[in-house]
A and B are shown apart, each in its own frame.
Chain A
Amino acid sequence: MPNIIEVKDLYKKYGDFTAVDHISFSVKEGEIFGILGPNGAGKTTTLEILEGLKLPTSGSIVVDGIDVQKHPTKVKARIGVQLQASNFFEALTLVELIETFGAMYGREVDAMKLLEQVQLTDKAKNQAKELSGGQRQRLSIAIGLVNDPRILFLDEPTTGLDPQARRNLWDLIGGIKKDGTTVVITTHYMDEAEVLCDRVAIMDGGTIVSMDTPRKLIDQLLATGFSKPVVQQQANLEDVFLNFTGHALRE
């Protein structure tokens, strides 16, 4: 698969603070690429530079063959975005909201089809403020898809969601990948990265400390002789929780 995103020597500083320190990576077409790291590692800054929302201090970023710094608007037309703060206009119904965002891309959108994709058809006439946390994230993803993007950027989409809503979102993101859309996602949750991501980059202090498929990263660690006390457990507490409460969405 060819690379759909090429980042070379990306550097970003705010005043004296270095947020992203000369990182390079590439994302292959059709994969789910995860950016992992603790708070303040530079994940969101990196994402926002790729999305054309922020200018890098130096470095080159090519998204779908287009230089983001030279043609940010062209890039924006081809990507879908879900930001950490998923707030939208008040007083509009979900259908109107999706149509309005479609108009920002100069498109007529079948809002009901998108709502169906994210399982929000029964909320079509509601306003965004009436949605639960998980529903809000799904709306945010639906809006990210209004322009049929080549790449979808998701910034911590599952933070603050209950286990059912998280798993539901994983299914949704997996489905988007199946439709042929490349996904770049940031997360704090390693189980999530393991389930979803084809490849992950681990960031800390503005640099990429490691990057590969989750399986290979684990193997590399084990190869160094790493071991932790093995507890032969066929289930963990989350399995217990889901066993009692089921996988059905609560909202």
Chain B
Amino acid sequence: MALLEMRDICKSFSGVYANDHISLTVEKGEIHALLGENGAGKTTLVNILYGIYTADEGQVLWKGSPVDFHSPADAIASGIGMVQQHFSLVRRMSVLDNVIMNLQGNSFFLDRKASSRRLMELADKYGMHVDPQAMVCDLSVGEQQRVEILKALYRDVELLILDEPTGVLTPQETEHFFRILRTLKAEGYGILIITHRMSEIMEISDRVSILRDGRKAAELTTADTDPAELARYMIGRNLKEAYDLDQVSSQDALLTLENVCLQGGGRVRPVNDVSLTVHKGEILGIAGVEGNGQKELAEIVAGVKRCSSGRITLDGKDITDLNARRSYEAGISYISDDRLRDSLVTDMDVQENLILKEFRNEPFSTHRRMHFKAITKNAEEKVETYKIKTSGKGSVKTPVRLMSGGNQQKLIIARELTDSTVLVVASQPTRGLDIGATEFVRECLVSQRNAGKGVLLISADLEEILELSDRIAVVFGGRIVGILDRKDATEQQIGLLMGGIRQKEVGA
């Protein structure tokens, strides 16, 4: 008898099927991976299981008997725990309070001493060290994830659902995390893990179910499959093997940063004495755990922020003090890591967003009057070229907020990559995108490189960095802690640098 069985689950949102007759089983002591692109219905499915949504049709069987969850409380009471993609921790409460919140076994008055003891025991058992008294907001992302898992384990769950658990971890943290999962598996826990990283699925799972467009495309035993087959089921075609980076980048410096610093509000400098060079026809990857100054660095280069000291040149010209508009005019394109905040006006439509940086210029306006015919024509061309799905009747007049993340990103790329582009600053350009859109974005960056332009690629995704970069700089605490050539770089090495271990010690 399976621990969990979901039978013919259907769920539609305003007439569109998010889940169309999906069936799934998880056994005790099994790690079952759920794979699929964004919008394939993975999160909907687990949310139904966890009682956040109610299924329109279908049945959930827990240990053989039908159950009907109306809230997470029901799911937890039955023994199902979930670690959500965006952690659900109360930041300004202690680790302990987060773990024991609303526990069924709690007496009216909390016994924090006993709970703390039990939490420590549990943490020790699985090698997840946390300080029960620490405030959650003071913890690193990896630590917060440990708290989430402990929170579930503390509730005596038998099935653990993990939604994209490794997206925010360094390779070392991921390895540690997988060790924990293996221990849990050996103890008989059932684990349902959502991920889109093939390598992780191959490494950790026993079986894998692949969803596509709300339907179950396949269920495979991991040992009998390979990443290419998984990708085929997931996107319905073969994945591009590798990017064409054969053409050698030139030795001409395009962008140089000399001792660039940014003074933050506090005592630490978000960007501290950064010097680097991007050559023509080169992709320089910046690897690092998020929050180590990457965003600030990107904003300094793009002119959004001004550095407090140091010098920046582009093609020999000093651009240190240029603002965002002048930087753009100098040929710097900026793809921000936060599309909704930095790159788009979400209530405006496609055609308006496409001219946000050019609306002052001909042919879009003359003498401060806008020419909507030209604007619409421009938009229609770009939508065609970049295959942007505007998902709406009005086509180029669709408000951007109604579009999917992948199409929003395509729109930004269509706007930013123009003929006058010299340097592309791309910050987490594929974050939250599905495989198809990711591939498209990466191809765009590579084609810019091959056209002799420079690309500064900032990404927390190591696979992406290794796949695309000619050279890789690693940031930690606002400093560059190492620059490696693509051919010498290993994931292991970069991972250590990302964790703050110096290049000398890594032995590179």
**Real complex partners, A and B?**
no
